[in-house]
Amino acid sequence: MKTATKGKNPEPSEHQIQSALVDWCALNGVPIFAIPNGGFRHIATARKLQREGVKPGVPDLFIPIVKAPKGGLFIEMKTRKGRIRPDQAFWIAELSLQYQVDVCRSLDEGIASIRSYLDAMQ
C-alpha cells in the first residue's frame, strides 16, 4: 500500500485504507458499498447531490447484512490521527440505534470490525 507522506513512519491516507478494505471485502465475498458524502465537488454538483439526499457526516461504508438486532454495519474510516467531526458524531449516534457503527483507523481495524460483525451472526 502506498503511503500519503514521506518520512520515517509514513501513514496511509484515509483513501488508501478505505480502498484496501473494499479490496479485502471483494476478495472475501463481503458485500460493501461506499457512501459518497465527502470530497470536493463543483458547487452545482454539490447542490444536486444535496437535493438527492446526500448528507454530510454519514459514515463512509456500509455492509448490508442484517444481524439482529442490527440492520447492517456502517464503517467510518479515519486515519490514526483523524478526528470525528460534529456532523459525523451526530450520524454515528443516530445510526447506532439500529445499526452497528464502527470507526476504523487502519486496514486491520476495518477487517476486525467486519469479522466481528459477521462472526456474531453465527
The amino acid at 21: L
- Mean pLDDT by 10-residue block, N- to C-terminus, for the chain (122 residues)? 58 95 98 85 81 89 94 97 96 97 98 94 56
pLDDT at residue 51 in the model: 86
Q: Is 0.95 topped by the overall pTM? A: no
Going by their DSSP bridges, the two strands 61-63 and 73-77 should be labelled as: antiparallel
pLDDT at residue 7 in the model: 58
* C-alpha distance across the termini of the chain, in Å: 32
Task: Give bridge partners of residue 63 from the DSSP assignment.
Answer: 73
CB 60 within 8 A of CB 73: no
pLDDT at residue 46 in the model: 77
Domains and CATH numbers, the chain: 14-119 (3.40.1350.10)
61-63: strand order across its sheet: 33-34, 61-63, 73-77, 100-104
Other residues' Cβ atoms within 10 Å of the Cβ of residue 95: 19
Q: Distance (Å, rounded) from C-alpha 51 to C-alpha 64?
A: 24
pLDDT at residue 82 in the model: 94
Q: Distance (Å, rounded) from C-alpha 76 to C-alpha 110?
A: 9
pLDDT at residue 36 in the model: 83
